[in-house]
Amino acid sequence: MTSGIRTPRTPRRRLGALTATVAVVAATALAVLSATPAQAASPLRSLAEGKGKYFGTALTDGDLNISGEMAIANTQFDMVTPGNEMKWDTTEPSNGSYNFGPGDQIVNWAQAHNARVRGHNLVWHSQLPNWVSSLPLTQVQGVMESHITTEATHYKGKVYAWDVINEPFNEDGSLRQDVFYKAMGSGYLADAIRTAHTADPNAKLYINDYNIEGENAKSNALYTLAQQMLSQGVPLGGIGLEAHFIEGQLPSSMLANMQRFADLGLDVAITELDDRIQLPTSSATLQQQGNDYATVVNDCLAVTRCVGVSQWGVDDGHSWIPGTFPGYGAATMYDSNYQPKPAYNATVNALSAGGTTTGGTTTTGGTTSAGGTTGGTGGNCHVTYTKNEWAGGFTADVVVANTGTTSVNGWTLGFSFPGDQKVTNGWNATVTQSGNTVKATNVSYDSTIAPGGTVDFGFQGTWTSNDTSPGSFTLNGTACS
């Protein structure tokens, strides 16, 4: 059985969701109606990059051979998630025998198209080979750790982020009683993330799940878990909101929900967006789907730590939806003839509104994490340092913008802590510290900063009495403004 099949909603919940959506529809209808023609738009990836975000898709190896899909993917997306190729049933079909060929093909596509990779996934109850679920429970921890270590080491330096844990929760907020839980209890979650971090210290490590987009029992349980993990120094870096929506039924609390996770110092990402429509479609349902896409994109834009949006697949003709949810389809921005739909126009409009930012001051529609600071006068760079602290610990998100007219190829950002901070681990950069002096050097996938472009890295650390943020930065030895 594939994951992601929802238990049917009760009529009462369905009504609640519909009522809650009315305000959203009214607020976004105007923007969608005034959509600019599709052919005039820049690629989604450029529009997203202009806002400091990415726009991604899922691709399978099969998709790589379909020219219509690739014509879109090659130009529109700067992040890719392998649809199936990095899951356990593909990568370790029998104990200790690994197959990274299929996943490598997706990585090769990414590298050829200047896109990053969301590794998906390391630990999941589904698409898990039988040999794992039938192991004696005493062997599960060792096997899980070996699997994570081997796969994360194979892809070290090539993935931006890992969905280390996929879909761990039941709808009521309890943990799934899968083989990992049965063997290790809830401790498997932290163990998996620590193991992945040891293998690839620079990858951003996520928990990814569905039906956690709004505030509900499931997302509340995840929020509590995330708080506990951070307080225990577990290197959790982000929360993936799958966002497999039904047209017209987005949760109204999505923005607030994303912001509360961001306020913990975590990244959030929309990881598997689609918005299925009961077939046949009508102009009204396609329009509503556009409203839904605009809402998702706008919510991500409003949360500084929302790093990007990925659609699950390229087009309606190759989406997983019709095969998994009979009677539903048309869930993506492109129809089966690869033509952009109202959802595409709505996405372009949302990404185009309000001009672009090139790593300037980070402000959001919701609450912001404390401590955004920028550096002194100087060279062709601008740094935004956003800190989220708690007693004894903090995370820092650092956005480096290239304000010059030539590419930066290979970078080291230097700064000093005014306080007694100690970096414990970084992501998207190799972060080293000597005394108060910190150097953050690019990793392979973010070595280039295009003119007007940005890179975003971060780190977690500890502090005792002074957590004052650094006020000046150098890029490759030259001071930033």
Residues of this chain that interact with ligand XIL (CB under 6 A) are 2-4, 83-84, 166, 242, 272, 320
| DSSP string across 192-242 | HHHHHHHH-TTSEEEEEESS-SSSSHHHHHHHHHHHHHHHTT----EEEE-
The residue among 167 and 467 lying less far from ligand XIL, judged by its C-beta, is: 167
CB 157 within 8 A of CB 201: no
Please identify, using beta-carbon distances, which residue of 120 and 382 lies nearer to ligand XIL. 120
The upper half-sphere exposure of residue 42, i.e. CA atoms within 13 Å in the direction of its Cβ, equals 13
CA-to-CA distance for 249 and 19, rounded, in angstroms? 9
Catalytic residue list contains 389: no
CB of 320 to ligand XIL, least distance (A): 4
Dig out the tokens for 448 from the structure. Answer: 């280039």
Which of 189, 176, 303 lies closest to 236, judged by CA?
Answer: 189
Comparison of 268 and 400: residue with beta carbon closer to ligand XIL: 268
Structure tokens at 131: 């040999």
In this structure, the dihedral spanned by the alpha carbons of residues 256, 262, 263 and 265, taken in order and rounded to 10 degrees, is 170
Give the shortest CB-83-to-ligand XIL separation in angstroms.
Answer: 5
Residue nearest to ligand XIL (CB): 4
**Least distance to ligand XIL, CB of residue 242, Å:** 6
| DSSP 8-state secondary structure symbol assigned to residue 169 | B
Nearer to ligand XIL, 84 or 430 (CB): 84
Closer residue to ligand XIL in complex, CB, 35/314: 314
Residue 370 three-state SS? coil
Cβ 315 to ligand XIL, closest distance in Å?
13
| 272: annotated active-site residue | yes
Instruction: In angstroms, give the least distance from the CB of 240 to ligand XIL.
Output: 8
Task: Give residue for tokens 């295009």.
Answer: 450
State the DSSP code for 265.
Answer: T
Instruction: State the catalytic residue, choosing from 49, 167, 213, 389.
Output: 167
Taking the complex as a whole, the smallest distance from the CB of residue 169 to ligand XIL amounts, in Å, to 13
Which is catalytic among the residues 69, 145, 242, 272? 272
Query: What secondary structure does DSSP assign to 117-167, as a single string?
Result: EEEEEEE-SSS--HHHHTS-GGGHHHHHHHHHHHHHHHTTTT-SEEEEEE-
* C-beta of residue 243 within 8 angstroms of C-beta of residue 166: no
208 vs 304, beta carbon nearer ligand XIL: 208
Q: Please, what's the b/e burial string for 163-177 (b: 16 or more CB within 10 A of its CB; e: otherwise)?
A: bbbbbbbeeebebee
Catalytic residues: 167, 272
